[in-house]
Structure 1
Amino acid sequence: MGRYTGPVCRLCRREGTQLYLKGQRCYSKCNIESPPGMHNWRKGKLSEFGKRLREKQKVKRYYGIYERQFKNYFNQASKQKGNTGENLLILLERRLDNVICRGQFTHSRANARQLINHGHLLVNGKKVDIPSYLVKVGDVIEVKKKESSKNIIIKNIENPVPAGVPSWLELDKEAPSMKVVQQPNREEIQIEIHDQMIVEFCSR
């Protein structure tokens, strides 16, 4: 199954929360109260299973990952020490496409994936064209010296989204470049996620 290419606003409506899939436009007034479908027929009380499923789907849609990718991340998180839910979210925050978006190089993860796939970015001086690449503390992400590459990034940095740059990233607007100064902070994730529900769903 390929990546979802339909209207992304219906995904926010389905989850009942803003997933910030369209960048700047998501910060204006957006109706997410009514679920997709004719006459809101999907309204109703969710079962405990349904609530946990929706949390998992919310995370997948927010980060733009496939089911198989999600399972791999969950398996990796469960093998690490500490809280599995928190480990999972930190792994997802470390994805290069998410880092590019959180650091204001782009305003959406979809645009970040496009930039990475087209080879506009360097990590520690080397070209990386894999959106799922996991950054580490100390990694420096730069834009290729190509003028067209810089213009795309500079335009986005000059028109930042209200969310701001998280504390675990250090943005240099002049270069432009960003540095991962520490592990991602669980408290600075942009949307509310009940990670324990996800762990319960995946461990059933």
Structure 2
Amino acid sequence: MARYTGPKTKKARAFGEAIYGADKSFERKKYPPGQHGNGRRRKQKSDYALQLMEKQKAKYTYGVLERQFRNLFDRANRNDGVTGEVLLQLLEARLDNTIFRLGLAPTRRAARQLVSHRHVVVNGVVTNVPSCQLRPGDTVGIRGRSQGLEIVKDAVGAKSDVRKFGWLEFNPDTMEGKFLGYPEREQIPEKINEQLIVELYSK
């Protein structure tokens, strides 16, 4: 399965945000990476550079490669509604992202691994496609014999007090969640300027 496997902190520093979650290394060096450190005067970025960076930030945040991302944008562009908002809704509706949001995995990367290793069921059927698009009403959970996995138990215990996503329901007893519907833009916590992405692809 193709995915980004390079240094996470370096990417986070390039975008100026801890896009992969809490990161002590990022907190120590919040300036962009490079051999000249923080002392080098950096040129003001062009509009194109800002648009490209925003698109790259969204890609790396959700763990999506270029072709997948472009396909999602084209789908969002065909759908009714504001294209940028629909794009983020489609990214949030991905199976791996939903597993992460439900607190069944500590990171999106870990969620993707759970799915690809056949530990996840959607509507009672084992699914191993992380990019699977959920629809309102779909139920998602950890299959019975996989609920004892250390990574799942640790994640559920750690995140039991922070499940605050209004478009999801979660039952810790059955380790099952429900995708209630697509979130509104203000409900999505990611700091992404989706309008810049739309402008980039509209050139």
Q: TM-score, normalised by structure 2?
A: 0.90
Relative distance call for 1:28 and 1:158 in structure 2 (3 A) is farther
Partner of 2:11: 11
Unpaired runs of at least 5, structure 1: none
2:57 maps to 1:37 = no
Rounded to whole Å, the distance in 2 between the matches of 1:122 and 1:42 is 51
In the alignment, is the contact (CA less than 8 A) between 2:96 and 2:111 conserved in 1?
yes
Counterpart in 2 of 1:97? 96
**Structure 2 match to 1:176:** 175
Pick closer, same or farther for the CA change 1:143–1:69 going to 2, 3 Å.
same
Aligned-residue CA RMSD in angstroms? 2.3
Spell out, residue by residue over 1:13-36, the C-alpha distance to the aligned partner (whole angstroms, 9 max, x if none). 0011120x2x5x448972452111
Maintained 8 Å contact 1:55/1:193: yes
**Counterparts of residues 1-204 of structure 1 (less than 5 Å):** 2-19=2-19, 21=20, 23=21, 25-26=22-23, 30-31=27-28, 33-40=30-37, 41=40, 43-147=42-146, 149=148, 151-160=150-159, 164-204=163-203
Contact 1:73–1:88 at 8 Å: present in 2 too? yes
| d(CA) in 1 for partners of 2:73, 2:9 | 26
In 2, Cα distance between the equivalents of 1:31 and 1:169?
34
* Equivalent residues, number: 201
1:159–1:197 Cα change, 3 Å: same
- For residue 137 of structure 1, report the CA deviation from its aligned partner: 0.8
One-letter amino acid of the counterpart of residue 14, structure 1: A
1:156 Cα deviation after fit: 0.7
Q: TM-score, normalised by structure 1?
A: 0.90
Task: Give the SS at the match of 2:169.
Answer: strand
Q: Measured at CA, do residues 42 and 72 of structure 1 come closer, stay the same or move farther in structure 2, by a change above 3 Å?
A: farther
Q: Distance in 2 between matches of 1:77 and 1:144?
A: 31
Residue 103 of structure 1, CA deviation: 0.8
Instruction: Tell me how far apart the structure 1 counterparts of residues 130 and 26 of structure 2 sit (CA, whole Å).
Output: 30
Distance in 1 between residues matched to 2:143 and 2:41, nearest whole Å: 47
Identity of aligned residues (%): 37
Q: What is the distance in 1 between the residues matched to 2:135 and 2:29?
A: 35
Question: Aligned with 2:159: secondary structure?
Answer: coil
User: Whole-Å Cα distance in 2 between the matches of residues 44 and 161 of structure 1?
Assistant: 44
Q: Mark the CA change 1:143 to 1:36 in structure 2 (over 3 Å): closer, same or farther.
A: same
